[in-house]
Amino acid sequence: MLWLSLGIAKTRPEAEAMRSQYIAWLDDELILWDGEDQIDPNNLLAWSKTLRVQQDDAPRRAPIEAALSGTDGRAGRYAVIPVRSGQRIRWLDASGFRLAVSEIPEGFPRIPRQSDDYDLIVEGRNVSVVRQF
Protein backbone atom coordinates (compact mmCIF):
# COMPACT_ATOMS: atom_id res chain seq x y z
CA MET A 1 0.00 0.00 0.00
CA LEU A 2 1.70 3.11 -1.28
CA TRP A 3 -0.06 5.49 1.12
CA LEU A 4 1.15 3.52 4.14
CA SER A 5 4.75 3.47 2.91
CA LEU A 6 4.68 7.23 2.25
CA GLY A 7 3.27 7.87 5.73
CA ILE A 8 0.17 9.60 4.33
CA ALA A 9 -2.18 6.96 5.76
CA LYS A 10 -1.81 5.34 9.17
CA THR A 11 -4.09 2.32 8.66
CA ARG A 12 -4.97 -0.04 5.81
CA PRO A 13 -8.63 1.09 5.63
CA GLU A 14 -7.47 4.71 5.48
CA ALA A 15 -5.00 3.79 2.71
CA GLU A 16 -7.72 2.00 0.74
CA ALA A 17 -9.95 5.09 0.95
CA MET A 18 -7.07 7.28 -0.22
CA ARG A 19 -6.42 4.97 -3.15
CA SER A 20 -10.00 5.36 -4.34
CA GLN A 21 -9.68 9.17 -3.97
CA TYR A 22 -6.46 9.10 -6.00
CA ILE A 23 -8.05 6.96 -8.74
CA ALA A 24 -11.00 9.39 -8.89
CA TRP A 25 -8.53 12.29 -9.14
CA LEU A 26 -6.73 10.52 -12.02
CA ASP A 27 -10.07 10.00 -13.77
CA ASP A 28 -10.83 13.73 -13.44
CA GLU A 29 -7.38 15.04 -14.38
CA LEU A 30 -6.23 12.69 -17.15
CA ILE A 31 -8.29 11.76 -20.18
CA LEU A 32 -6.61 8.37 -20.59
CA TRP A 33 -4.32 6.90 -17.99
CA ASP A 34 -2.64 3.59 -17.27
CA GLY A 35 -0.66 1.92 -14.51
CA GLU A 36 2.43 4.01 -15.24
CA ASP A 37 0.42 7.21 -14.72
CA GLN A 38 -0.83 5.80 -11.43
CA ILE A 39 2.71 5.59 -10.03
CA ASP A 40 4.07 8.69 -11.78
CA PRO A 41 5.67 10.87 -9.07
CA ASN A 42 4.39 14.03 -10.77
CA ASN A 43 0.81 12.79 -10.52
CA LEU A 44 1.29 11.70 -6.90
CA LEU A 45 2.72 15.11 -6.02
CA ALA A 46 -0.09 17.01 -7.79
CA TRP A 47 -2.71 14.88 -6.04
CA SER A 48 -1.04 15.24 -2.63
CA LYS A 49 -1.20 19.03 -2.98
CA THR A 50 -4.98 18.84 -3.38
CA LEU A 51 -5.12 16.59 -0.31
CA ARG A 52 -3.22 19.15 1.79
CA VAL A 53 -5.67 21.85 0.78
CA GLN A 54 -8.54 19.67 1.98
CA GLN A 55 -6.72 18.95 5.26
CA ASP A 56 -6.01 22.65 5.82
CA ASP A 57 -9.71 23.40 5.43
CA ALA A 58 -10.66 20.76 8.00
CA PRO A 59 -11.34 22.17 11.45
CA ARG A 60 -8.49 21.66 13.91
CA ARG A 61 -8.98 20.53 17.45
CA ALA A 62 -9.41 23.38 19.88
CA PRO A 63 -6.16 24.61 21.39
CA ILE A 64 -5.54 23.90 25.06
CA GLU A 65 -4.54 26.96 27.05
CA ALA A 66 -1.28 26.34 28.91
CA ALA A 67 1.31 28.10 31.05
CA LEU A 68 5.05 27.85 30.45
CA SER A 69 6.98 25.93 33.07
CA GLY A 70 10.60 25.07 32.41
CA THR A 71 11.18 27.05 29.22
CA ASP A 72 11.06 30.66 28.18
CA GLY A 73 9.30 29.75 24.93
CA ARG A 74 12.02 31.25 22.76
CA ALA A 75 11.78 28.47 20.14
CA GLY A 76 8.09 29.23 19.60
CA ARG A 77 7.06 25.63 18.89
CA TYR A 78 7.87 22.39 20.71
CA ALA A 79 6.77 18.80 20.21
CA VAL A 80 5.30 17.74 23.56
CA ILE A 81 3.89 14.66 25.26
CA PRO A 82 0.93 14.91 27.70
CA VAL A 83 1.32 13.38 31.15
CA ARG A 84 -1.62 13.58 33.56
CA SER A 85 -0.74 14.68 37.06
CA GLY A 86 -3.74 15.05 39.36
CA GLN A 87 -6.08 17.62 37.81
CA ARG A 88 -3.45 18.98 35.41
CA ILE A 89 -1.50 17.92 32.37
CA ARG A 90 2.25 18.32 32.35
CA TRP A 91 3.52 18.84 28.80
CA LEU A 92 6.95 17.24 28.44
CA ASP A 93 9.48 17.23 25.62
CA ALA A 94 10.91 13.94 24.35
CA SER A 95 13.68 14.10 26.97
CA GLY A 96 11.16 14.31 29.81
CA PHE A 97 11.62 17.99 30.66
CA ARG A 98 8.44 19.81 31.66
CA LEU A 99 7.78 22.72 29.28
CA ALA A 100 4.23 23.69 30.25
CA VAL A 101 1.21 22.80 32.35
CA SER A 102 -2.50 23.07 31.68
CA GLU A 103 -5.87 22.14 33.09
CA ILE A 104 -7.33 18.92 31.72
CA PRO A 105 -9.84 19.94 29.04
CA GLU A 106 -13.23 18.27 28.91
CA GLY A 107 -13.14 15.14 26.80
CA PHE A 108 -9.36 14.75 26.95
CA PRO A 109 -8.59 11.02 26.83
CA ARG A 110 -7.34 9.36 30.01
CA ILE A 111 -4.52 7.77 28.03
CA PRO A 112 -4.00 9.46 24.63
CA ARG A 113 -3.58 6.95 21.81
CA GLN A 114 -0.96 8.99 19.98
CA SER A 115 0.79 10.93 22.70
CA ASP A 116 3.38 12.43 20.34
CA ASP A 117 0.86 14.34 18.23
CA TYR A 118 0.89 17.56 20.27
CA ASP A 119 2.75 20.84 19.77
CA LEU A 120 3.28 23.55 22.35
CA ILE A 121 2.94 26.90 20.57
CA VAL A 122 4.18 30.15 22.07
CA GLU A 123 3.04 33.35 20.33
CA GLY A 124 3.93 36.34 22.47
CA ARG A 125 2.01 35.92 25.72
CA ASN A 126 -0.32 33.28 24.25
CA VAL A 127 0.70 29.74 25.13
CA SER A 128 -1.33 26.79 23.90
CA VAL A 129 -1.06 23.14 23.01
CA VAL A 130 -2.54 21.92 19.73
CA ARG A 131 -3.12 18.38 18.58
CA GLN A 132 -1.55 18.07 15.15
CA PHE A 133 -3.00 14.77 13.88
Residues 64-83: pLDDT tens digits?
999 999 899 999 999 999 99
Quick one: pLDDT at residue 82?
92
Residues 49 and 92 in one domain: no
Residues 11 and 36 in one domain: yes
Question: What domain count does the chain have?
Answer: 2
The CATH number assigned to the domain holding 70 equals 2.40.50
Residues 68 and 127 in one domain: yes
Instruction: Please say whether the beta carbons of 54 and 29 come within 8 A.
Output: no
Q: Please give the chain's pLDDT, 133 residues, in tens.
A: 566 666 677 778 888 888 888 888 888 888 888 888 888 888 888 888 887 644 444 444 689 999 999 899 999 999 999 998 888 999 999 899 999 999 998 888 777 766 668 999 999 889 999 987 6
In 3-state terms, what secondary structure has residue 28? Answer: helix
- How many angstroms from the chain centroid is the CA of residue 98? 22
First vs last Cα of the chain: how many Å apart? 20
Residue 60: what residue type? R
Residues 124 and 78 in one domain: yes
Residues 116 and 70 in one domain: yes
Quick one: pLDDT at residue 38?
83
Tell me the pTM. Answer: 0.54
Residues 127 and 70 in one domain: yes
Phi, psi for residue 109 in degrees, rounded to 5: -65, 145
**Ordered DSSP codes for 65-119:** E-EE-S---TTSEEEEEEEEETTEEEEE-TTS-EEEEEE--TT--SS-SSTT-EE
Identify the domain containing residue 37 by its residue range: 2-57
Quick one: pLDDT at residue 41?
85
Quick one: pLDDT at residue 61?
65
Residues 92 and 125 in one domain: yes
- Domain end point (choices 57, 85, 104): 57
- Domain end point (choices 57, 72, 98): 57
- Interhelix angle for 12-29 vs 41-57, to 10°? 110
Quick one: pLDDT at residue 99?
95
Residues 121 and 69 in one domain: yes
> Would the CA dihedral through 57, 128, 130, 72 be positive or negative?
positive
Residues 106 and 125 in one domain: yes
Residues 71 and 122 in one domain: yes
